[in-house]
Chains A and B, each alone.
Chain A
């Protein structure tokens, strides 16, 4: 009964490259959330997705960041032309079908992105 899976766990990119972070929700979960934790900060909400739909992307930076949750496969958080300020831990969470909530969100171990 695997939990939320994220890969890679560590990702190093040079400025200007693209970063792709993957998240496989828990089995049976249909809601996915992405959070970002900058150094010395708390986690900040980025985006909430259901299968093939972006429900709320109010926390996403307006440029260079995009997210998807296709019908098949993991959710992808994509960062184009990375800059040093994108260095952070990116956490994915998932929750079961039905009304989304917060105490039913299960978090993955995170991807630590380092931009050189």
Chain B
């Protein structure tokens, strides 16, 4: 049972344009969401997070939007740069349970073309 779903295995974007990565979740108990970035042969690196009490969180070129009613979140990268090319994982957890136990999606491979 895939509780966190990233339905697009890959995304290709031109440098300077916006990249939008999507994530859906089924477990309504999740109340904290994170995005990780992973380069080949490296571990995931924390990028940005959002609590369910918010609907938007921004950090530089990265913005995460949360739509609780749709159980959907998205990561916007603007402007996209070639160095952003990586696999992006959406992850979630429930603060009322084990707040260290992340549930990950399968990831989306982002390719930013120069």
Contacts and interface: CB of A to CB of B under 8 A. Distances in A.
B2 to A, nearest CB: 8
Given A40-B106, A42-B4, A100-B99, 6 more contacts: A6-B43, A42-B104, A43-B102, A105-B100, A106-B43, A109-B41
A101 B13 CA distance: 33
B106 A41 contact: yes
8 closest A-B pairs by CB: A107-B43, A42-B104, A100-B100, A43-B104, A42-B106, A45-B101, A107-B44, A103-B49
Interface of B: 4, 6, 32, 34, 36, 41-46, 49, 89, 91, 93, 98-107
A69 interface: no
A107 B39 CA distance: 12
Nearest to A92: B43
Interface residues of A, number: 30
B100 A95 contact: yes
B46 A103 contact: yes
Nearest to B36: A107
A110 interface: yes
A92 to B, nearest CB: 8
B42 A102 contact: no
Contact of A102 (B41, B45, B91): B91
Nearest to A95: B100
Contacts of B93: 102
Nearest to B102: A102
Given A33-B100, A43-B89, A105 B46 contact: yes
A56 interface: yes
Interface string A80-108: 00000000000101010001111101111
A91 to B, nearest CB: 6
Q: Which residue, A35, A105, A108, has most C-beta atoms of chain B within 10 A?
A: A105
Nearest to A3: B43
Given A107-B43, A108-B43, A44 B91 contact: no
Interface string A42-59: 111100100000001011
